[in-house]
Amino acid sequence: MNILFIGDIFGRPGRDLVRRGLSVLVERFEADFVIANVENAAGGFGITREVCEAVAECGVDVMTTGNHVWDKKEALDYVATEARLLRPANYPVGAPGRGSLLARTTDGRGVGVINLMGRVFMAALDDPFAVALRELESFAGRTRVIIVDFHAEATSEKMAMGWHLDGKVTAVIGTHTHVQTADERLLPGGTAYLTDAGMTGPHDSIIGSQAEAVLARFRTGLPSRFEPATGNPRLHGALITTDEATGRATAIRRLAFSLDELEAMRAETRE
């Protein structure tokens, strides 16, 4: 089974990349299932029903989030009504929505997805390492293919989660920093690992937002309004191949394409 993982979709430029490029990637890499992190999909901050439905329409099966999940107020109600939209599983009891899902490919094969958030340089949520094991148990006997989106800042915490879950899940893929790392690998127990999938959005920016406003905040310490940038849109993510019988990953490939490269791939596929 081939699973496509798309890194943080940022604003309209990110959604355009998915709309124009996802189907060609699915075709080219024979993807059976698509997961995307959508925490920045609505104007760079959060998620709305309209945006979530538009992303799903492009062929995304399950959507994960992170610290920006509640930025749009409507998400507080919406997340509880949309099963395909996850928020980190280690939010304390009382937070709306859910952090894991047993989804199915179009031909009925089970894929477990778990969304977790780190605690280093981030809000102090429940222990993601303990919650990961608890969530895993919910999939016991139901599927061996399990993909974890670990939304975290610190490389060390992400790598620790990779080793914590090695041999227990198909892949641990990091999100949140918006900068793709080049450390994709198979851990000894058969878990695919990548510290950060990167950002699907405008790369002539500071992690998605217009550079001037972010720079002004760093230089003056004063509040400034961040708007999504537009330049240099790139789709970032990873392709994970797994043996469904064991749930072990057999390969992981990092993906990074400009819009032009995606369009060229589409033209090639048509020939």
C-alpha count within 13 angstroms, C-beta hemisphere, residue 214: 11
* Strand stretches in 2-109, DSSP E: 2-6, 33-37, 62-64, 100-104
13, 66, 237, 247: which one contacts Fe ion (CB under 5 A)? 66
Question: What is the nearest approach in angstroms of Fe ion to the Cβ of residue 196?
Answer: 10
Q: Which of 204, 205, 210, 158 is closest to 184 using CA atoms?
A: 158
Residue number, 105 or 175, with CB nearest to Fe ion: 175
The CA-atom distances, in angstroms, between 179 and each of 85, 127, 193, 202, 239 are: 23, 25, 15, 12, 17
- Asked if residue 67 binds Fe ion (CB under 5 A), the reply is yes
Question: What is the nearest approach in angstroms of Fe ion to the Cβ of residue 270?
Answer: 33
The bridge status of strand 185-186 relative to strand 171-175 is unpaired
Question: What is the nearest approach in angstroms of Fe ion to the Cβ of residue 74?
Answer: 19
Query: Angle 128-137/155-165 helices, nearest 10 degrees?
Result: 30
- Asked if residue 209 binds Fe ion (CB under 5 A), the reply is no
Question: What is the nearest approach in angstroms of Fe ion to the Cβ of residue 199?
Answer: 7
The active-site residue, picked from 68, 151, 176, 236, is: 68
- Asked if residue 176 binds Fe ion (CB under 5 A), the reply is yes
Q: Mask 7-36, x = binds Fe ion (CB under 5 A)?
A: -x----------------------------
- Asked if residue 40 binds Fe ion (CB under 5 A), the reply is yes
The CA-atom distances, in angstroms, between 156 and each of 102, 130, 161, 196, 235 are: 28, 17, 9, 12, 25
Q: Which residues contact 50 (CB under 8 A, 6 or more apart)?
A: none
Question: Segment contacting Fe ion (CB under 5 A): 2-10, 76-84, 183-191, 213-221?
Answer: 2-10
Active site residue 164: no
- Asked if residue 72 binds Fe ion (CB under 5 A), the reply is no
Question: Segment contacting Fe ion (CB under 5 A): 69-77, 90-98, 168-176, 220-228?
Answer: 168-176
Q: How far apart are CA 76 and CA 79, in angstroms?
A: 6
Positive or negative CA dihedral for 261, 271, 242, 170?
positive
Binding-site residue total for Fe ion (CB under 5 A)? 6
Determine contact, residues 175/199, Cβ cutoff 8 Å.
no
- Asked if residue 126 binds Fe ion (CB under 5 A), the reply is no
Residue number, 87 or 176, with CB nearest to Fe ion: 176
- Asked if residue 200 binds Fe ion (CB under 5 A), the reply is no
Question: Segment contacting Fe ion (CB under 5 A): 59-67, 141-149, 166-174, 213-221?
Answer: 59-67
Q: Which residues bind Fe ion (CB under 5 A)?
A: 8, 39-40, 66-67, 176
The residues annotated with a catalytic role in the active site are: 68
